[in-house]
Amino acid sequence: MSTDPADVTAYRASAHDAGEVGRLLHDFNTEFETASPGVNVLTGRLQSLLAGPSTIAYLIGHPAEGVALVTLRSNVWYDGPVALLDELYVRPHRRGHGLGTLMIDQLLADATASGISAIEINVDESDVDAQRFYERHGFSGRDPSTGERAFYYALEL
Amino acid sequence: MSTDPADVTAYRASAHDAGEVGRLLHDFNTEFETASPGVNVLTGRLQSLLAGPSTIAYLIGHPAEGVALVTLRSNVWYDGPVALLDELYVRPHRRGHGLGTLMIDQLLADATASGISAIEINVDESDVDAQRFYERHGFSGRDPSTGERAFYYALEL
């Protein structure tokens, strides 16, 4: 990968970038030993999702070395939509160079400009580095009045 | 409230029920000393949201004594949408009679029938009763392989 600074600008992916997004998400899950439906299935879904209004992806690098995936939903407590940062991944050899920060900064700027009311993330208990990273970017994992955590629960159907 | 069993069937709210849903959500936040934009603002938003495909509410009782609010989003890891149970509330004098269970059961049945892939919930750390309630209904708050929690982080914009 070039070290040209122009190469390390985060940019919003279009449906044409579905293959690069799918490849990075697949490699993410493979690295962390999580099941993946495979690059082809992910790419097919992303071609459809990225063409719609509710899924946003950021890429960084040419070829892309990092991805952020965001989905939007309505929320009765806010005027604007709420964004969930589903995934943030940077390839191992490119970590520690601020690529995650560049993608988060772009997300925050775009979210503010487009009237998104809040951004949410689910972070694993043991992933203290990620917790610190998000705290540095203004996210809070504790209720401001009680200091308590919120736990994420799920049921697959 | 009548004790006629016909009165305690959970039913899906339409946009015409926005006022009842908004009143219950406002009372929920007031009871737990959380800010609310007020019944009128909530009702206005719900009239629009409940007319669309991505926000679902269940009510129970006539007049309604409980509400469940659900929003849908796309997710690249699944074929179908993912549902987030944003709120589940039963009026204090009606608690302990299984109204929450009736709403959850209806949600699970409808979600399965409509191809929803997963249901997610954020539960406060101290709300052990809610954690037990959701665990009884099949939800898990821990990673099945590591046993660890996922924490919910948020940033309001």
pLDDT in tens, A67-79: 999 999 999 999 9
C-alpha B35/C-alpha A76 separation (Å) is 13
Residues of B in contact with A138 (CB under 8 A): 155
Residue B14 vs residue A5, higher pLDDT: B14
pLDDT at position B5: 52
Beta carbons of B130 and B141 less than 8 angstroms apart? no
Cα B134 from Cα B108, distance rounded (Å) = 12
Predicted pLDDT of residue A2: 47
Type of residue numbered B19:
G
CB contact under 8 A, B123 and A153: yes
The pLDDT value given to residue A8: 84
| Cβ-based contacts of B137 with chain A (< 8 Å) | 155
What pLDDT score was predicted for residue A48? Answer: 96
Task: Tally C-beta pairs within 8 A across A and B.
Answer: 161
Instruction: Report the C-alpha gap between A78 and B156 in whole angstroms.
Output: 10
Asked whether the predicted pLDDT for residue A38 surpasses 50, the reply is: yes
Give per-residue pLDDT as tens, A68-124: 999 999 999 999 999 999 999 999 999 999 999 999 999 999 999 999 999 999 999
Amino acid at B6: A
The strand pair at B10-12 and A55-60 is best described as unpaired
β-bridge mates for residue B56, sequence order: B70
- CB of A119 within 8 Å of any CB in chain B? yes
Give the position of tokens 């949408």. B81
Least confident interval from A21-30, A144-153, B113-122 = A144-153
CA B5 to chain centre: 22
Identity of residue B1: M
The SS3 assignment for B99 reads: helix
Which single residue is written with the structure tokens 């070039």?
A2
The rounded distance, in Å, linking the Cα atoms of A117 and A110 is: 12
Helices (H) and strands (E) in chain A, counts: 4, 6
Q: Is B16 helix (H, G, I), strand (E, B) or coil?
A: helix
Say what the pLDDT of residue A4 is.
52
Q: Answer whether B140 touches A (CB < 8 Å).
A: yes
CA–CA gap between residue B44 and residue B54 (Å, rounded): 16
ipTM: 0.92
% of chain A surpassing 70 pLDDT: 96
Say if strands B150-156 and A118-124 run parallel, antiparallel, or are unpaired: antiparallel
Sorted by sequence, the CB contacts under 8 Å of residue B130 that are 6+ apart come out as: B123, B124
**Structural contact between residues A50 and A86, judged by C-beta atoms closer than 8 angstroms:** no
CB B72 within 8 A of CB B85: no
Query: How confident is the model over B71-126, as pLDDT tens digits?
Result: 999 999 999 999 999 999 999 999 999 999 999 999 999 999 999 999 999 999 99
Predicted local distance difference test score (pLDDT) of residue A87 = 97
Strand partners, B12: B58
Identify the pLDDT of residue B15. Answer: 98
Say if residue A37 is preceded by a cis peptide, omega within 30 of 0: no
Question: Across all residues in chain B, what is the average pLDDT?
Answer: 94
**Is B71 close to A72, i.e. CB distance below 8 A?**
no
For residue A46, count other CB atoms closer than 10 A to its CB: 23
Does B128 touch chain A if contact means CB atoms closer than 8 Å? Answer: no
Q: What is the mean pLDDT of residues B131-151?
A: 94
Its pTM surpasses 0.80: yes
A 90-109: CB under 8 A from B: 108
Question: Is the pLDDT reported for residue B2 higher than 60?
Answer: no
Q: What is the C-alpha separation between B74 and B117, in angstroms, rounded?
A: 10
CB neighbours of residue B97 within 10 Å:
14
Does the distance separating the beta carbons of B150 and A139 come in below 8 Å?
A: no
Interchain contact, A157 vs B52, CB within 8 Å: no
Residue A77 contacts B where some CB pair is shorter than 8 Å: yes
Arithmetic mean of pLDDT, B131-142: 97
* Optimal mutation site among A41, A75, A77, A129, interface B, most CBs of chain B within 10 A: A77
A113 and chain B in contact, CB less than 8 A = no
Contacts of residue B21, defined as CB under 8 A and 6 or more positions apart, other chains included, come to B13, B42, B43, B46, B50, B57, B59, B64, B67, B69
pLDDT attached to residue A5: 52
pLDDT above 70: residue B49: yes
β-strands B55-60, A118-124 pairing: unpaired
